[in-house]
A and B are shown apart, each in its own frame.
Chain A
Amino acid sequence: MKLDPSIRDAMLAATPNLRAFAISLARNVDRADDLVQETLLRALANIDSFQPGTNMSAWLFTILRNHFRSEYRKRRREVEDADGSYTASLTSQPDQTGKIEHEELRAALAKLPPDQCEALLLVGASGFSYEEAAQICGCAVGTVKSRVNRARNRLAELMSIESVDDFGPDRETQAVLSAASRR
């Protein structure tokens, strides 16, 4: 297996983005880097199944996502984590990427169901289209859309992000809504 330089370059080019996804999923830099390494090794071992000219990044994300899923399921069986205390302990580990300003966001992401979390990360942060995200997650485009939608709603709720649109219809909506809730 002599590495084709263009393949190697494409892999390295995708690595920072892949790592950001892995850290957000695993919530621990060391574990995330292990995930990325395993992903690159698996990709190389299966390089014959990669179709040149197709999206290397999406292919790597698919491998990482599937690997993470099976690891996650294994760990869930091993570690009693019904209330999320294990993931909370991971989140609180200090590391250079766990900056205070993003802690609230990371904590909120940790509360999302895994399906919704990965969909939101792929579309909202990694920059994949709904179609690509659907391919990566092995589900229908409509499913990704609704997962992203639900994830955004839940995040907005958890982080109490409210509309800053003080003018126009939005204020009226809120007036109508609060009037309705008073009833």
Chain B
Amino acid sequence: MQQQKAASHAESRMKSSAGSGRLGRDVQQKIGQQLRSMYDDVIKEGVPDRFTEMLRQLDSIDDGSNKGPRE
């Protein structure tokens, strides 16, 4: 009974792993972990000054130069 259950489970996994089927959950998790760890290295660097500076400058320039029809 137990064996039968396992066998049918194995069969369904085999079917789904053929071609473009589904990977095992552990493999998916491993890929996810590696991707996130690659991302974390960049995210740890925070926002480079270049961007905060750019937004700050745009903000201050616009005070004087852009008296558009808005508002």
Contacts and interface: CB of A to CB of B under 8 A. Distances in A.
B47 A12 contact: yes
A129 interface: no
Contact of A169 (B13, B31, B59, B66): B13
Contact of B14 (A20, A41, A173): A173
Interface residues of A, number: 49
B42 interface: yes
Chain A interface mostly: helix
A33 interface: yes
B45 A16 contact: yes
Given A16-B47, A36-B51, A37-B50, A149 B39 contact: no
A170 interface: yes
Contacts of A153: 20-21, 23
B55 A3 contact: yes
Interface residues on B, range: 35 or more
A105 B47 contact: no
Interface string A13-24: 001110110011
Interface in A149-183: 149-150, 152-153, 155-156, 161-165, 168-170, 172-173, 176-177
A73 interface: no
A19 B62 CA distance: 26
Nearest to A12: B47
A37 B27 contact: no
For B11, B20, B24, the residue with the greatest tally of chain A CB atoms inside 10 Å of its CB is B24
B6 interface: yes
B35 A124 contact: yes
Contacts of B32: 124-125
B27 A163 contact: yes
* 8 closest cross-chain pairs (CB), A and B: A20-B42, A125-B35, A20-B39, A172-B10, A102-B38, A163-B24, A16-B43, A169-B9
Interface of A: 1-3, 8, 11-12, 15-17, 19-20, 23-24, 33, 36-37, 40-41, 44, 97, 99, 101-102, 105-106, 120-121, 124-126, 146, 149-150, 152-153, 155-156, 161-165, 168-170, 172-173, 176-177
